[in-house]
Chains A and B, each alone.
Chain A
Amino acid sequence: MRINCPICGDRDRREYYYQGAAVTLDRPAPDAEEAVWEDYLHLRENPAGRTRDLWHHEGGCGAWVVVTRDTVSHKIFEVALAADVKGAAR
């Protein structure tokens, strides 16, 4: 598996650290309801198909990237800098 870092270019998966579902980019407001926080902290989808997760290019430039990929085919659709995703209007 190879991930095309927006900064470094196409790199082997072993240069990356896998963090988990990219839902952590959408942190609830501090005063959000308990159920919202519970969902954010503990409940994750486990899709057979398209998923979106955070990887850290620790063996490269050090950037966090958001990878959209298919867990069945291993196809990677998109790799974006988390800073850009987070900064963009949602």
Chain B
Amino acid sequence: MGELQAARPWAERLDVSIGRSALVEVDLGHLTVLAPFGAEAGMTEALSAAHGLGFPKPNRATGKDGGRCIWFGRGEALLIGPAPDASLADHGASVDVLDAWAAVSLSGAAAVDVLARLVPVDLREGAFKRGHSIRTQVMHMSASITRTGKDSFLILVFRSMAGTLSHDLKQAMAAVAARG
């Protein structure tokens, strides 16, 4: 087999600033769904020993850029960054989903107003703080949203929806910017 090259979710590099918000695609490294078999204790220990990360509670994330674990639905978390240690598979399903998701970072003072147009959850800082991570929808797309900083969000959708995500976000960014 020839040398395989990872395909990016967008044909052209996504990097756009409109008004007070900026949208860039992000290469997160490895993406691995972790789904503990039964109790989470074993997975929690293995994850901490191998990657120095806690297994996140619902609506929460652990870690930081370069190594993060975000809650990813009922009984699931997503390990972002490092290649998963083999020991994780002793405590649950450990599934490579790198080719299944597209990721963007939305940042800037207006980012939260942009998301307010597309997401049916209150993402303002009082309700959604750094380290919070939810499964919700962006328009009609199933999504994962994590607050990574004061004015920055990590957004993941199914990779087949990458074009729709960038379109909807750019449109909302322009609409928010037009209001001044």
Which of A's residues lie within 8 Å of B, judged by CB?
7-9, 11-12, 14-15, 58-63
- 7 inter-chain pairs at a CB distance below 8 angstroms, sorted by A residue, are A7-B74, A8-B134, A8-B135, A11-B120, A11-B121, A61-B58, A62-B73
Which of B's residues lie within 8 Å of A, judged by CB?
58-59, 73-74, 120-121, 134-137, 142
Give the shortest distance, in Å, between A47 (CB) and chain B (any CB): 28
Asked whether B59 lies within 8 Å of A8 as measured between CB atoms, the reply is: yes
**In the complex, which of the residues A7, A12, A58, A61 contacts B120, with contact meaning CB atoms closer than 8 Å?**
A12
| Cα distance A9–B134 in the bound complex, in angstroms | 10
Asked whether B142 lies within 8 Å of A61 as measured between CB atoms, the reply is: no
Give the shortest distance, in Å, between A3 (CB) and chain B (any CB): 12
If the complex has contacts A7-B58, A8-B59, A61-B58, are A15 and B137 also in contact, measured as CB distance less than 8 A?
yes
| Cα distance A58–B143 in the bound complex, in angstroms | 11
Asked whether A15 lies within 8 Å of B74 as measured between CB atoms, the reply is: no
Give the shortest distance, in Å, between A38 (CB) and chain B (any CB): 34
Most central of B58, B59, B135, B142 by chain A CB within 10 Å: B135
**In the complex, which of the residues B58, B59, B135, B137 contacts A14, with contact meaning CB atoms closer than 8 Å?**
B137
Asked whether A58 lies within 8 Å of B142 as measured between CB atoms, the reply is: yes
Give the shortest distance, in Å, between A29 (CB) and chain B (any CB): 28
Give the shortest distance, in Å, between B158 (CB) and chain A (any CB): 13
Closest to A81 in B: B74
Q: Which 6 A-B pairs have the closest CB atoms?
A: A12-B120, A59-B137, A61-B74, A62-B73, A63-B74, A61-B73
Most central of A9, A59, A63 by chain B CB within 10 Å: A59
| Cα distance A27–B120 in the bound complex, in angstroms | 35
Give chain B residues whose Cβ lies under 8 Å from the Cβ of A60: 73, 134-136
Give chain B residues whose Cβ lies under 8 Å from the Cβ of A58: 142
Asked whether B58 lies within 8 Å of A11 as measured between CB atoms, the reply is: no
| Cα distance A40–B123 in the bound complex, in angstroms | 42
| Cα distance A59–B135 in the bound complex, in angstroms | 7
Asked whether B135 lies within 8 Å of A61 as measured between CB atoms, the reply is: yes
| Cα distance A61–B137 in the bound complex, in angstroms | 11
